[in-house]
Chains A and B, each alone.
Chain A
């Protein structure tokens, strides 16, 4: 079935690209690989009958947010990590603290595995209950967004305004008026 093949290919690309993002020393490559990962995620959204979310993913995430990251990486021009000097002196590198960190990581993985073992019981296909044309229609999406979720929508606009003012204030040089 072509849809399942598409799902597994896109998931594989996405997991591999995300794994490589945290494996790179140069943040430039990390940002570019994350764009690949987000493009694969947009493909997964299309498989899930959510074409509008897929377009928003490409335009907002891969287009706007990642370009902002690229801009900052190029502006700062500090490609390599300087870990060696800090590794020796940093208190988090002490063995006792590291043991607590390993314990927390094991707990996280165990909890994820436990939750997934419960959820495997939900083996029915994602598209079984509803028609894809209904769930994927932009008209229905807009109707629900501007009626049931109108307060959250307005609150989001305030959030964006506050973030914009905050970013301008934080990135400003000290002496400027």
Chain B
């Protein structure tokens, strides 16, 4: 059997990869994909903890996270389409109208 800590290590690795993607990439779509990686890392640790505790609560929270991720992807992609229409760019540094 696999120890719980191994699942948590995998989850931490994925979360770190997602964080690195948010900071390193220069493309709004890739940044959204990195956020999805982070959400899935957290989902993995929820399901692993739920299995460890012997309840289904971890899996249920995973469903809610998936729903929020779907809503976030829909709104985020609509924002990206609207931004691309006005700026003709996907670089986050191009969207600086609100900066002082």
> Taking beta carbons and an 8 Å cutoff, which residues of A are in contact with B?
1, 3-4, 7, 11, 14-15, 18-19, 21-22, 24, 27, 30-31, 34, 37-38, 41, 44-45, 47-50, 52-53, 56-57, 60-61, 64-65, 68-69, 72-73, 75-76, 78, 81-83, 86, 90, 92, 101, 105, 108-109, 112, 115-116, 119-120, 122-130, 134-135, 140-141, 144-145, 149, 152, 156, 159-160, 162-164, 166-168, 170-171, 173
> Taking beta carbons and an 8 Å cutoff, which residues of B are in contact with A?
1-10, 12-21, 23-27, 29-30, 32-34, 36-37, 40, 43-44, 47-48, 50-57, 59-60, 62-64, 66-75, 77-82, 84-85, 89-91, 93-94
CB-contact partner of B47 in A3, A53, A68, A115, under 8 A = A53
* A-B interface pairs (CB < 8 A), number: 228
Q: Is B80 a contact partner of A72 (Cβ separation < 8 A)? A: yes
Q: Is A144 a contact partner of B93 (Cβ separation < 8 A)? A: no
CB-contact partner of B5 in A120, A128, A166, under 8 A = A120
Nearest opposing residue in chain A for B29, CB measure: A27
Q: Is A167 a contact partner of B75 (Cβ separation < 8 A)? A: yes
Q: Is B37 a contact partner of A37 (Cβ separation < 8 A)? A: yes
CB-contact partner of B9 in A53, A116, A127, A134, under 8 A = A116
Known: A53-B62, A83-B26, A105-B23. Contact between A126 and B78, CB under 8 A? no
State the majority secondary structure of interface residues on B: helix
Q: Is A18 a contact partner of B18 (Cβ separation < 8 A)? A: yes
Complex: A169 Cα to B54 Cα, angstroms:
43
In the complex, the 9 A-B pairs of residues with the closest C-beta atoms, listed nearest first: A130-B54, A125-B1, A22-B21, A163-B71, A170-B78, A171-B78, A167-B78, A83-B26, A86-B93
